[in-house]
Amino acid sequence: MSDFLLPGAIAITALFYAAVGQAGATGYLALFGLVGLASAEMKVSALALNILVAAIETWQFRRAGLLDWRSFYPFGVLGIPFSLLGGALHLPGTVYGPVVGCLLCLAAAQMALRSIRHVPEAGLPHHPPFLPALFAGAIVGFVSGLTGSGLASALVV
């Protein structure tokens, strides 16, 4: 992919992911893998783009009254610091590629299974139990920071 096509592909990826409430890290990682970026560059670039798009989405959801902080904060209390911890660790390229590949394949398989089973939406949002949400936030945050994949792929799995 030429240097001129990559920014356009990133913009289209961000647009499509944002249209469904995602920030797009898995798409960015796939694009970066196609152009042959090193694992350290992939992780940092995907995380930076993901943070930018997620911040814009969060602001828009909050402005529209669709963001319930009471449901979010138990995940964020440990999720945010653990994502920073995971982001500070650097996996060698020979480990990083297979780990990200497995995570993306697991997320894709889970989404496919959900679409086949036609699981109905849960209805009105509820507030998660605090302690399980804390621990889930820590695990998801760490994996997301370690891989640069953002939260969506880890949450789907």
Lowest mean pLDDT among 15-24, 29-38, 111-120, 126-135: 111-120
pLDDT of residue 135: 93
Tokens of 142: 């760490």
Q: What is the mean pLDDT of the chain?
A: 82
Tokens of 134: 């804390």
**Element housing 136 (H / E):** helix 130-147
pLDDT of residue 48: 85
Instruction: Give the integer Cα–Cα distance in Å for 18 and 117.
Output: 25
pLDDT bucket at 17, cuts 50 / 70 / 90: confident
pLDDT top residue among 112 and 138:
138
- Tell me if the pTM is above 0.95: no
Instruction: Give the integer Cα–Cα distance in Å for 45 and 143.
Output: 16
Instruction: Give the integer Cα–Cα distance in Å for 107 and 121.
Output: 18
Q: What is the pLDDT of residues 125-157, one digit of tens each?
A: 678 889 999 999 999 889 888 887 766 655 554
pLDDT bucket at 54, cuts 50 / 70 / 90: confident
Measured at the alpha carbon of residue 57, what is the angle toward residues 30 and 145, in degrees to the nearest 5?
50
Alpha-carbon distances of 21 from 16, 66, 70, 73, 82, rounded to whole Å: 9, 11, 19, 18, 23
Q: Could you tell me what percent of the chain has a pLDDT over 90? A: 10
The mean pLDDT value for 72-83 works out to: 87
Q: Could you tell me what percent of the chain has a pLDDT over 70? A: 89
Rounded to 10°, the helix 130-147/93-117 angle is 130
pLDDT of residue 121: 61
State the CB neighbour count (10 A cutoff) for residue 81: 15
Burial bucket for residue 115 (CB in 10 Å: 0-12, 13-18, 19+): exposed
